[in-house]
Amino acid sequence: MKNIINQLHNHPCPCCHPLASRRYFLKSLLPGAVAFSVLQSAAPARAVTYQAKALILSCIDFRFLTAERYFLRNKHLLGEYDWTALAGASLAITGFPHPADAEAFWDQLDLSYRLHHINKVIIIDHQDCGAYAIMIDSNLSKDPERELQVHTDYLNRAYWLIRNRYPHIDIELYLATLNQDEFKTILPKLENQT
């Protein structure tokens, strides 16, 4: 018996020990062999592909969220869009005053395009925007005509920035009004007119 114990100490692996049974050895290999054969025959996992109709860019202003969702539902986009929000919306795309905002938008657009195969970008600016007040003019919302013109200019800049990178994607531009039932369509101008 002492001889057997000494032999076990000299062979720490039970399957390599001369006294180990063949049955023990085969039982220890069986789970690995089965797992290996199953894994060899299994197809690689693939992510499910989803398609969204559009990427929506809006301002972060909470006052307009309900109206924007209602507007998008009326455009037959209910639940079929990716949404990102950046302060100033179109202002952010131009990188004014923070280039990081523009980078964030381009990252989101690229992901939405590659993952969800969007074919449209909808940008929604709104009246009385705090980002425009801070970055452009604190009195901008007091002059509705000038406010419309400034938003139109930045929406057009955003339009052409997107159009130059993604020429086949449709782009829609809107300005939400304070009465929140009205979304003015902003038509893009020729690039050299912006």
Of 64-68, 83-87, 92-96, 152-156, the poorest mean pLDDT is in 92-96
Concatenate the DSSP letters of all residues of 115-165 into one string.
Answer: HH---EEEEEEESS-HHHHHHT-TTGGG-HHHHHHHHHHHHHHHHHHHHHH
The band of 7, judged by pLDDT with boundaries at 50, 70 and 90, is low
d(CA 117, CA 66): 26
Model confidence pTM above 0.85: no
Residue 125 has pLDDT above 90, yes or no: yes
